[in-house]
Amino acid sequence: MTRGRIMDAFTAGLLQRIRTTETDLTRARETGDDFLADVEQAELDDLRRLAAEHGVELSTV
């Protein structure tokens, strides 16, 4: 059961990081901060890759 809890916490944390990064990316684009938008996009790409590698569904994000 511990293993399931770890995965649940991992999944929840990853999904939260994706939501936060999407919000930050939107804000950077809206304010015209191209550098920050690039940084946030790279972070989002990495998080999505990590999710895919671990079988985390992103349709709920």
- pLDDT band with cut points at 50, 70 and 90 for residue 39: very high
Cβ-proximal residues to 47 (8 Å cutoff; 6+ apart), any chain: 14, 17, 18, 21
pTM (2 d.p.): 0.82
Average pLDDT (6-13) is 82
pLDDT for residue 1 is more than 80 = no
pLDDT at 2 over 90: no
- 56: DSSP letter: -
pLDDT at 13: 94
Whole-number Å distance between alpha carbons of 31 and 3: 42
